Chains A and B, each alone.
Chain A
Amino acid sequence: MINDITLSYLIFLLPLLTFVVNGLFLGNRNAKAAAAFAIACNGIAAASAITVAIHYFTSTYAPQKATLFEFNFLPFAGDLVAKIGMLVDPLSVMMLVVVTFISFMVNIYSLGYMREDRAMGRFFALLSLFSFSMLGLVVATNLFQMFIFWELVGVSSYLLIGFWYHKPSAVSASKQAFILTRFADSFFLLGIVLVSYVIGSFDFSTINSLSLSDFRSGTINLGLIEMSQASALVLGSILIFTGGWGKSAMFPMHIWLPNAMEGPTPVSSIIHSATMVVAGVYLVARLFPFFAACGDSLTLIMWVGAFTMVFAAVIACTQKDIKRILAYSTLSQLGYMMFALGACKIGQAVFTTGWTASTFHIFTHAFFKCSLFLIAGSLIHQVHTNDLDAMGGLRKKMPVTYICTLISVLAISGIPPFSGFFSKDEIILAAFQGQHYAVFALALLTSGLTTFYMFRLFFLAFHGEPRHEGVRAGHVHEDFAMTLPIVVLAVPALLSGLLGKGLFEKYFTPGNLHVPVMLKLAHAEWIPFVAVAVAIIALLIAWFLYASPKAKIERALDETNRSGIYKVIYHKFYFDEMYYTVVRQFIFGGIARVARAFNDYVIEGLLAFSVWFIHKLGDLVRTAQAGYLPFYLGTLIVGVLLWRFFGQLPL
């Protein structure tokens, strides 16, 4: 009775069931029961997902695609039909495991984190809706289904980021996230309309198997200009990517992500690791053959990713809010995944290392990033502040958390044998093989920066003397429900890279490519050594600055108080102080500050300006409506004249 197909239904339906039951019945009455129900359902879903994945990968069927079910959802004119279905292939199976497992962990964690919240029932309902939407997105068989769940992900993130709606900052952050991603989604929708109109199908299988040469001859009228169908497809691919651009918070649409920290920490954790932001990368990975066929779209994707990667890493070095550091680090890691996908193109040919690397990095990143956020939440819960200034000395008080943090931090830094090493190494290799040497150098540099800021966070939070009254007085303990998921997640953070490498290299290829594929690629055994060396140097710098016996942490944290000799020693490495020195302003502080200023004034300013401008126009419309009848009658006459001259009638 229970076979893989029924299990697949379970994965999909249990979170939905949790949402319905908790949302309608349990949530308001008994928050404890709601939490237990959510954890049970998500646990079964995670177990089913893992079972399905094991069956799938051990069967001989493995790398092929299968559609478990599919029915017509919405017929359009002609042959165009929107379907709802469930697609199984290595990528979606991997995502199913990641989403359900992370969601299970976050549910357990929330039991501890949200214990004192009045609206705990609502929280568990929304959390399940979130993972349901993401599951629907990853198993989508076509663009239309993907878009529906894509929007549902947006809506549920809006509800969750603004969960504490009594905080004005949370409300504005949720609004910003929703409207900004919706803005990107409107391009996505246009892309879908354009592409499906040219191709006549929403199905991934059709879209992924086209080649541009079939469309060179036909033309399409886009209103203002007439272009060949091939160019329209390239335009469509860029529009579709724009959807992922906003969802994955790539520069310059990244501003919502750090602000989304206003939500409860479990929400940040799930947004950053398994749902929402990964959706953009997933979209590009899913449609990779299509992007590969569409001219230079991949190059755009690569540069967007690479720029975000460096940009976010530089900002992360200067932050003090623990959650913000993690948020910028997510941006940077997403940049890695995005550019790895984009780097797969050499001239007209493509190779698949980057695709494998990127999906592999989605997998490993999910575990250690989720773990890091949960740890951050745990610290915040104990110390009651996000500020690194007030932490320190937590090693003795929270020993288990300390070990798990070390594992996750080593994983994100790419130190072998932790998981991040394997995936990041492949990404850097992909940049090298793609002969994108500039991006390759940036990736190495960012790898060093990543190690630096992560260890900065680690040392400042756990080492040194306690800088917080509560910690000194010993009011700190480890909560069981909150520590358990952290410990469980430390296992994949340690091992998923080592164990997953073979699996990913064997099964994870983007499917049938209809462009020339490069098989002979440069091998570079020296890359891992260089990457590890960079990471270790960065680690030593961080240690030297923040944890060595000689390090003066108070001084390091206090930017205004710098003694002369000390300053001279640290000027070369110490980012926060460099920020204030003239020489270094042009290098790190300068870049970060310019980037921040650009962020704050130009991008947010543009946003503010458009809002102001629209409001002014709104005022204009309202003023015209003064209730003066002769004016109204006048508009009728003016209207006729207006359309006589501008209506483009051949009069």
Chain B
Amino acid sequence: MFDFSTSHFLIPDLLLLIFPFIVIGSRLFCNAQSKMPWRIANFGFIAIFILLNFIPLASGEGRFFISNWRIDDFGVLMREVLLVSAILGMWFAKDYFEHGADGKPQMHQIAEFIGAIAFATFGGVTVVSACDMLTFFLGLEIATIPMYALTAWNKKDQLGSEAATKYILMGSVATAFELFGFSYLYGFAGSLHFSEIQTAVASGTSPLLWVAVLFLFCGIGFKLTLFPFYTWAPDVYEGAPTPVTAVLSVTSKATAIAFLVVLVFGPLAPIQEQIAPLIALLAGTTLFVGNLGALKQSRLRRFMAYSSIAQAGYIMVALLGPAATAKTAIIYYLFVYAVSNYLAFFVFGIIGHHREETFASLRGLSKQNPSLAISLAISMFSLAGIPPLAGFFGKFHLFYSGASTGHYMLVAFAVLNNVLALFYYIQLIKSAWVDEPDGHLTPLRLTRRQRAVIVALSIAVVALGFLPFLSNNIVAGFSF
């Protein structure tokens, strides 16, 4: 159909760029109740995802478009992760436009909502394609700014507005850090282009470079919710509408980690060994604090916030490894994380449509709706990393990557933390499986779409774990 060996490999990116305008534009031609934008959005996202799968993976430098838009294997797979996240996020959000949930009013303007998600996705795509600092920075901002808007989507919701205010204020400071870091990096290397920066870094270091590194890591630490820059996350996750929380915890996190991967294995590759202690410290403190925070929560979304903070810490562990191992581990884990996390959110979403989003609402779930309880258990066990579910193999890859450059202390610490994590994930399962049902809880009803998505995601989590070799072609079958 398409010959992707020439510049046709750009087609998915171009489609993704114009796609939000089409979705938003379609609103002009139909009334508010029309399903047209929703259908276009579904078709568009899925089509782009399928097109991406046609791009043959090729090792080496990747392909260039006007010298500063590069598509390599990591980029292609990151695009797939981002699109999976966008599609699942969109499906998840749909219910919230039909009726309110968790004490919040119904949301409106689905076309614009999907447009915002698409912009954020495009931002992520820009980050993984960038070859110079300007594009890189722009990508990060394109990915972040729609998130501010999404957080405040419910204009009538006080908590949402408050969360968005906090988010945007803190985000601006983080952006300032980023820019500061970039400017020092430019000052050090005298060029915006990654390859030239890499050459400059390889030929010698100076305090300028270290200041740049410090500020870049601190800035991205905000987006990746690293310690101690994570403080916005619990409040924003709690205040934002649930689907936005889900998108934030996957798309935004994936973009941020992609940013770090591009940075650490690109321009900063020559000094990876010197910044390893910083990465290790960030990873260790983040996963520990995330786990500690999650221990004491009773609201589901706040709980997921801390859980995703801890997950960010685990992902950071992989950054210590050699490039190929680390990229493989991170991509695989992001797939697994996206699937497990969305599965958890879908279950919570269904609870939230009928009840409050708290642990207490899960009581007796195994009696009222066993299949939902099983899905919940699968996603929690996967996030906790119990074999043979996907989460275990994902974590194994991450730890293996960290261990292969000899960071055994950190890996040991992370593995021990996993026991801690098991403790709180089991709390949730206990609520669903052991606690007696509460007569006051309203019964749950699932629509066909919800049921289908939950079944598909549960199967995906189990299948990715039972048959990790199925994913050979997307994980281990290529080399960076």
Contact = CB atoms under 8 A, between A and B. Distances in A.
Contact of A186 (B169, B386, B415): B415
B316 to A, nearest CB: 13
Given A614-B292, A625-B235, A651-B211, 20 more contacts: A75-B476, A152-B387, A178-B426, A186-B419, A190-B408, A194-B403, A221-B406, A621-B293, A621-B296, A622-B293, A624-B231, A629-B165, A629-B169, A635-B228, A636-B222, A639-B221, A648-B281, A649-B210, A649-B214, A651-B210
Contacts of A178: 426
A466 B401 CA distance: 65
Nearest to A144: B396
B234 A625 contact: yes
Contacts, number: 157
A221 B295 CA distance: 34
Interface in A376-435: none
A129 B334 CA distance: 30
B134 to A, nearest CB: 24
B214 A223 contact: no
B246 interface: no
A632 B472 contact: no
B4 interface: no
Contacts of A74: 393, 468-469
B293 A625 contact: yes
B409 interface: yes
Contacts of A629: 165-166, 169
A222 B215 contact: no
Nearest to B233: A625
A76 B400 contact: yes
* B294, B430, B434 pick with most chain A CB within 10 angstroms: B434
B409 A224 contact: yes
Contacts of B215: 640
Interface string B279-317: 001100000010011111100000000100000000000
Contacts of B282: 643
A569 to B, nearest CB: 51
Contact of A222 (B388, B409, B423, B468): B409
A609 interface: no
A621 B407 CA distance: 26
**Interface on chain B toward A: helix, strand, loop, or mixed SS?**
helix
A647 interface: yes
A650 B210 contact: yes
A614 B231 contact: no
Interface string B454-469: 0000000000000011
B277 interface: yes
B214 A651 contact: yes
Contacts of A194: 403, 408
Interface of B: 165-166, 169-170, 173-174, 177, 205, 207, 210-211, 213-215, 217-218, 221-222, 227-229, 231-232, 234-235, 274-275, 277-278, 281-282, 289, 292-297, 306, 324-325, 328, 386-388, 392-393, 397, 399-400, 403-404, 406-412, 415-416, 418-420, 422-423, 426, 430, 433-434, 468-469, 472, 476
Nearest to A627: B235
Contacts of B235: 625, 627, 632
Given A165-B433, A190-B411, A193-B411, A633 B406 contact: no
The 8 closest A-B pairs by CB, nearest first: A618-B295, A223-B409, A221-B406, A648-B277, A647-B278, A621-B293, A618-B296, A632-B231
Contacts of A151: 386-388, 392
A190 B414 CA distance: 11
Given A148-B388, A618-B296, A649-B274, A640 B411 contact: no
A441 interface: no
A527 B229 CA distance: 69
* A179, A614, A625 pick with most chain B CB within 10 angstroms: A625
Given A648-B277, A650-B210, A73 B406 contact: no
Contacts of A73: 468-469
Contacts of A162: 434
29 contacts: A72-B469, A74-B393, A75-B472, A76-B400, A148-B388, A171-B434, A179-B423, A183-B419, A186-B415, A186-B416, A193-B399, A193-B411, A194-B403, A223-B409, A618-B294, A633-B173, A635-B229, A635-B231, A636-B170, A636-B222, A640-B214, A643-B278, A643-B282, A647-B214, A647-B281, A648-B278, A649-B278, A650-B205, A651-B211
B218 A643 contact: yes
Contacts of A647: 214, 217, 277-278, 281
A615 B231 contact: no
A571 interface: no
Nearest to B165: A629
Given A74-B393, A183-B419, A644 B409 contact: no
A221 B280 CA distance: 15
A650 B210 CA distance: 7
A503 interface: no
Nearest to A639: B228
Interface in A140-166: 147-148, 151-152, 155, 162, 165
B408 A165 contact: no
Contacts of A147: 387
A629 to B, nearest CB: 6
A480 interface: no
A102 interface: no
Nearest to B434: A165
A197 B402 CA distance: 12
A179 B419 contact: yes
B404 A632 contact: no
Contact of B422 (A148, A179, A625, A646): A179
B228 A642 contact: yes
Size band of the A side of the interface?
35 or more
Interface of A: 72-77, 147-148, 151-152, 155, 162, 165, 171, 175, 178-179, 182-183, 186, 189-190, 193-194, 197, 220-224, 614-615, 617-622, 624-625, 627, 629, 631-633, 635-636, 638-640, 642-644, 646-651
* A77, A179, A190, A220 pick with most chain B CB within 10 angstroms: A77
Contacts of A638: 228
Contacts of B289: 621
Contacts of B406: 220-223
A625 B227 CA distance: 13
B422 A649 contact: no
A649 B275 contact: yes
B207 to A, nearest CB: 6
Contacts of B177: 636, 640
Contacts of B275: 649
Contacts of B173: 633, 636
Contacts of B231: 624-625, 631-632, 635
A221 B411 CA distance: 13
A495 to B, nearest CB: 39
Given A193-B400, A633-B173, A643-B278, A617 B292 contact: yes
A85 to B, nearest CB: 14
A619 B297 CA distance: 10
A113 to B, nearest CB: 23
B404 A77 contact: yes
A534 to B, nearest CB: 42
Contacts of B207: 651
Nearest to B218: A640
Contacts of A635: 228-229, 231
B408 A615 contact: no
A650 B293 contact: no
A636 B407 contact: no
Contacts of A77: 324-325, 328, 400, 404
* B387, B404, B469 pick with most chain A CB within 10 angstroms: B387
A631 B214 CA distance: 21
B166 A632 contact: yes
Contacts of B292: 614, 617-618, 620-621
Nearest to A171: B434
A636 B218 contact: yes
A75 B470 CA distance: 11
